[in-house]
A and B are shown apart, each in its own frame.
Chain A
Amino acid sequence: MNEEKEKGNILEEVTSSEYKYGFVTDIETETAPIGLTEDTIHYISNKKNEPEWLLEYRLKAYRHWLTIEEPDWALLNHPPIDYQNIIYYAAPKQKKELESLDEVDPELLDTFKKLGISLDEQKMLTGVAVDAVIDSVSVKTTFQDTLAKHGIIFCSFSDAVKEHPELVKKYMGTVVPYTDNFFAALNCAVFSDGSFCYIPKGVRCPIELSTYFRINAANTGQFERTLLVADEGSYVSYLEGCTAPQRDENQLHAAIVEIITHDDAEVKYSTVQNWYPGDKNGVGGIYNFVTKRGLCKGHNSKISWTQVETGSAITWKYPSCTLLGDNSIGEFYSVAVTNHHQQADTGTKMIHIGKNTKSTIISKGISAGKSNNTYRGLVRVSKKADNARNFSQCDSLLLGDKCGAHTFPYIKNNNRSSVVEHEATTSKISEDQLFYCQQRGIDTEKSIGLIVNGYAKEVLNKLPMEFAVEAQKLLAITLEGSVG
């Protein structure tokens, strides 16, 4: 009932079509010189007091990056990115190590409040631990004590490098090597911070782990990376939310997320991505080039991706699963909304290697305005993947007649005992549906919000409750002004 109530309220609350998170926090930042050279990498590594091995890793990645070209196969149009005109590192200046929240810059805390993130003890009641990342550096991590009791490590990537170098060394780059693609290589060279999470054997993480990323300083690319390791028989649900303030320049974001699940382990990874999409005329907005991949390394392991993508001027993102362990399961649930001049090319890869592996893909694309929304997916079944199963469903919903929806489902099946199913639909919000809602007193915009949320329900239901509410709000806000 509460859920229903929330859903009802959301649609009422939504009245403003301006980007809600368009504010700039005035925090002194310390930035690297503009552009990218080996010096930049030395600068970043030095700032972070990194060990030699990590600097070497960065430099290898950088040298590889120099040899490769930016990919152009996605259905995306944007002016060439000038990689020498980007600031690769910005950290909020802090005088000393902080003991408690009281010592955190009040402006920073205020930013979190505007975002609806509270770092205080109230979070305990909602069962969420937040590792907040502003402009690349983790500011404050909560609930580490609670987590420590279970032996769970949840900290910033930098801390992990210092305190758990053996784990970082063992897993970093094993799912997404720096040679993987252009943006992954770039991230490996210049990543500033991110999150690290390790769930030990047999531990079921008692709370939802949450990280908020937010791009704040002007002209700063954000290159964070997340490494999540679930040891045998463990479970964790991990939430990632993103917002960025309104700016006229396009900002580059190239993140890496790596997940590893061992035998019988399960990771549920949920994202709500709401970065600044640019204005109605397509000016500004985030370029979001992200490499997310999970490796179901162990038998009976499971990785489930859920994403709600409403933001960014450009989204290039394919959260994938490599199903190596026998009986492992990969899932991808996605809602991608584009409005005005937004462009999204997103989907997943399910690579079946182990026997009896299963994957499910549910993708709901919603395009409005003059936007373009592309689903791109690959289901690959290797020779050895006996009895592999995949089910894919890719639906597209169009609002108006100036937007585009595209579907590129690739299937490479090398095993005769496997079953791969693909379903796809394309539909428009019908005038009948709109009139039916309006006749019940619901205005056009709320009607669209209602219909679209209904359309995406199958995916929204996969989100943890507190995210589902935010996601529904975002869908409605994103589509404001898209009709009539």
Chain B
Amino acid sequence: MLLNIKDLHVSINGKEILKGLNLGVNKGEVHAIMGPNGTGKSTLAAAITGREGYEITSGEIIYKGEVINDLAPDERANKGVFLSFQYPVEIPGVSITNFMRTALNAKREFLGEDPIPAGEFLKKMEEKKKLVDIQSKLTNRSVNEGFSGGEKKKNEIFQMAMLEPTMAILDETDSGLDIDALKVVANGVNALRSEDNGFVVITHYQRLLDYIVPDFVHVMYDGKIVKSGGKGLALELEEKGYDWIKEQL
């Protein structure tokens, strides 16, 4: 199993947000996690990627057979865990090109490889830019500075394509996107799907799942996964609303 989360409890400032969450993701699978606001979806993403302040009080996050509960965020990233941020952060004065080269070389150093040659890097940039329809001008700009909502999300998927993670978490990648941008982003994600990697797609709405078709859909409520099913579950949710889940509990 690629990612195996067992009975995960996570607190922020002493307040428990995740209350015994279980999730298993195999290679080649796409899991959608849905649920109303404030049920802990983003907390799950933060816990998996090791964000400071998200305290795992019990349970395990096992990635490729290794418990990663205590690994630094950059170590998890270099082992292939990627988060597409719900709110991508601006880094003034740092171009996307520079940022990506630094990130890519950090990963290569971690793996004991030499830094990427300039030519190879440029070629890779060009190739991946096409994937998400990013303009060359954009990669010369500072990371996310003055980007539109759509550009920010495209940039996240572009970075994912550059870093080629094994386990990618997409946190509300559809929020703030119009339908055209949504399609571009979804196409990018689909192009990266393979038998060797897994995706966790966090979303409020079924609409993204029309384009990124999941193998499994989970519904989160109050810090736990309360219902799981196939892609049909998303449609059912859309139709009946989250109250339907609450009634069932």
Contact = CB atoms under 8 A, between A and B. Distances in A.
Interface of A: 1-2, 4-5, 7-9, 11-12, 430-433, 435-444, 446-447, 450-451, 453-458
Contacts of B109: 12
A458 B95 contact: no
B244 interface: no
Contacts of A439: 49, 73-74, 77, 82-83, 85
Interface residues of B, number: 38
B103 A440 contact: yes
A441 B93 contact: no
B73 A435 contact: yes
Contact of B122 (A1, A431, A437): A1
Interface of B: 49, 51-53, 72-74, 77-78, 82-83, 85, 87-95, 97-99, 101-103, 105-107, 109-110, 115, 118, 122, 142, 159, 163
Nearest to B51: A435
A209 B51 CA distance: 48
A81 B88 CA distance: 51
A5 B90 CA distance: 21
B89 A436 contact: yes
B102 A8 contact: yes
A450 B92 contact: no
A1 B118 contact: yes
Contact of A454 (B93, B97, B105, B122): B93
9 contacts: A4-B95, A431-B52, A438-B74, A438-B77, A439-B73, A440-B77, A444-B74, A451-B94, A453-B93
A14 to B, nearest CB: 12
A442 B92 contact: no
Given A8-B101, A441-B78, A436 B85 contact: yes
Contacts of B88: 436
Nearest to B145: A454
A441 B92 contact: no
A454 B94 contact: yes
Contacts of B159: 440
Contacts of A443: 72, 74, 106
Given A447-B74, A455-B92, 17 more contacts: A1-B122, A5-B118, A8-B102, A9-B115, A11-B102, A12-B105, A430-B89, A436-B85, A437-B91, A439-B73, A439-B82, A440-B99, A441-B78, A441-B103, A441-B107, A443-B74, A446-B106
Contacts of B102: 8, 11, 442, 446, 450
Contacts of B122: 1
A472 B10 CA distance: 39
Contact of A442 (B49, B52, B74, B93): B74
A441 B106 contact: yes
B141 to A, nearest CB: 12
Contacts of B94: 450-451, 453-454, 457
B77 A433 contact: no
